[in-house]
Structure 1
Amino acid sequence: MDIVCNQCHTKLSIPDHKVPRGKRASFLCPKCKQRIQISPSADSSGPSMAPTRTYDAADKPFDFVDSNKQTSLVCMGSGAAVVSQALETMGHVVKQAKDVEHALLNMRYHLFDIVVVDDGFDRPGVPGVLSTLCQLEMASRRKIFVILVSERYRTMDSMAALHQSVNLVVNHSSLNKVDKIIDRAIKENEQFYAVFKDSLKKTGKG
């Protein structure tokens, strides 16, 4: 089945066997992250297409998640378990990425509340997690709190965070108290953007 996103007009090809017959289905557009609705009347009688890496429902990180639950993606090697445990303690549903491709597939089908990336996770010369986040539309990017874990920068270095286009920098030496650091940074971020987000909601853009 070929469909087009109403928001960004990206054309997507979905294997027919991934679309339930006679039922309404929906998923997030890989490009703009807006939800696409497929009505029961949509034509799915054409020949089935082989699953491709451009869209496969099996790649979706969460099949059923409480809408009130926040989700986090952890893209790390060493320290991933510590960060994941801290986020779970904060009430997040956590997904750990095995590698860059796995991370990008998860990001393609789900808009995470928090993305944690080690500065050694991405590979030089190829699209990575941080570069993909930078390419998101501003409305989508604002909804994600991006954390860079680094050996080079000090914890909560605002200038480094600005330079790396992330919301927070955490040094590896501070991972033992990462839950408190993240909690504080998120509260400060929410306070900083409170007026801005309120203005967007009033104009229908939030």
Structure 2
Amino acid sequence: MEIVCESCQSKFRIADEKLPKDKTAFLKCPKCQNRISVPPPAKDPDESDPPGFEEDFFSFDEDESDGYDSSDKPFDFVEEEGKTALLCESDPMIKKTIKPVLDVLEYHITEVKNSREALKTMRYHSYDLIVVNEYFDAKNPDANGVLIYLERLNMSVRRNIFVAMITRRFRTMDNMVAFQKSVNMVVNVDNVADFDKILRRGMADSGLFYQAYKDCLD
């Protein structure tokens, strides 16, 4: 959905599927701070949350019942040419290495503290890039809530997100593991120092892989 600020006429975009389904969302223009109200999109009767998650995992606190207010999350919607990245990593040393790379690549970065916050954030925004540690907020990496959510996303949404999984178990750029985990790229923690080169190569390979498919859609 394209959103136009009535005050400064700046244009922004936010994915329809990330808007509340039954309530008005309230956003603040990141340029002039004007309050913008966005009505809920038309409801798809066949749409449902991914199976395997309890409803409470996606619920909101009582003080949010009047609508979603992104005043404390300035990158929930950005200018049309802006790129966004979600960082799901608890290790401060790994974050210290990854964040400068994303800054150089001109991503607006959203950091989250746990899976619940990550899933809530993804509900309202389609990120171009998601970097997630397989142990992020999970003792069992095979039960990582963020990775499970991404695996069950509708493919029309998922194919537009590049997912890089940080791991201690698998080797960097292991394409078979990436396929099994439904991510685009695997990066071992021992190679995080080269995250810039690895990410650029992974995104280039992904772009070539999907190019033929995207050409067919045009």
TM-score, with structure 1 as normaliser? 0.72
| 1:119-169 CA distance string (max 9 Å, x none) | 111435977111111111111000000111000001000111011110000
Query: 2:76·2:124 contact (CA, 8 Å) conserved in 1?
Result: no
Q: Summarize the Cα distance change of 1:119–1:29 in structure 2 as closer, same or farther, 3 Å threshold.
A: farther
Match of 1:81 in 2: 96
Question: Superposed, which structure 2 residues align to 1:37-52 within 5 Å?
Answer: 51-52=63-64
Shift, 1:26, TM fit: 5.6
Question: Superposed, which structure 2 residues align to 1:161-200 within 5 Å?
Answer: 161-200=178-217
Q: What letter corresponds to residue 14 of structure 1 in structure 2?
A: K
Shift, 1:83, TM fit: 1.1
Shift, 1:60, TM fit: 5.2
Structure 1: tracts of 5 or more residues without a match: 1-6, 33-49
- SS of residue paired to 2:164: strand
Counterpart selection for 1:56 from 64, 68, 73: 68
- SS of residue paired to 2:78: coil
Q: What letter corresponds to residue 201 of structure 2 in structure 1?
A: R
Larger radius of gyration: 1
Q: What letter corresponds to residue 115 of structure 1 in structure 2?
A: I
Question: Superposed, which structure 2 residues align to 1:6-45 within 5 Å?
Answer: 12-14=21-23, 18=26, 25=38
Counterpart selection for 1:116 from 117, 124, 131: 131
Q: Summarize the Cα distance change of 1:187–1:193 in structure 2 as closer, same or farther, 3 Å threshold.
A: same
Match of 1:69 in 2: 82
Query: 1:61·1:106 contact (CA, 8 Å) conserved in 2?
Result: no
| 1:46-67 CA distance string (max 9 Å, x none) | xxxx644795223756255222
Identical aligned pairs, as a percentage? 32
Query: 1:72·1:115 contact (CA, 8 Å) conserved in 2?
Result: yes
CA RMSD of aligned residues (A): 3.4
Give every structure 1 segment of 4 or more consecutive aligned residues whose post-TM-superposition deviation is greater than 6 Å.
27-32
Match of 1:140 in 2: 157
- Distance, in Å, in 1 between the alignment partners of 2:21 and 2:86 is 25
Q: What letter corresponds to residue 162 of structure 2 in structure 1?
A: F
Note if 1:150 corresponds to 2:167: yes
Query: 1:60·1:109 contact (CA, 8 Å) conserved in 2?
Result: no
- SS of residue paired to 2:182: coil
Shift, 1:19, TM fit: 8.6
**How many residues are treated as equivalent by the alignment?**
174
- Distance, in Å, in 2 between the alignment partners of 1:14 and 1:64 is 18
TM-score, with structure 2 as normaliser? 0.68
- Distance, in Å, in 1 between the alignment partners of 2:88 and 2:187 is 14
Structure 2: tracts of 5 or more residues without a match: 1-15, 29-35, 48-61
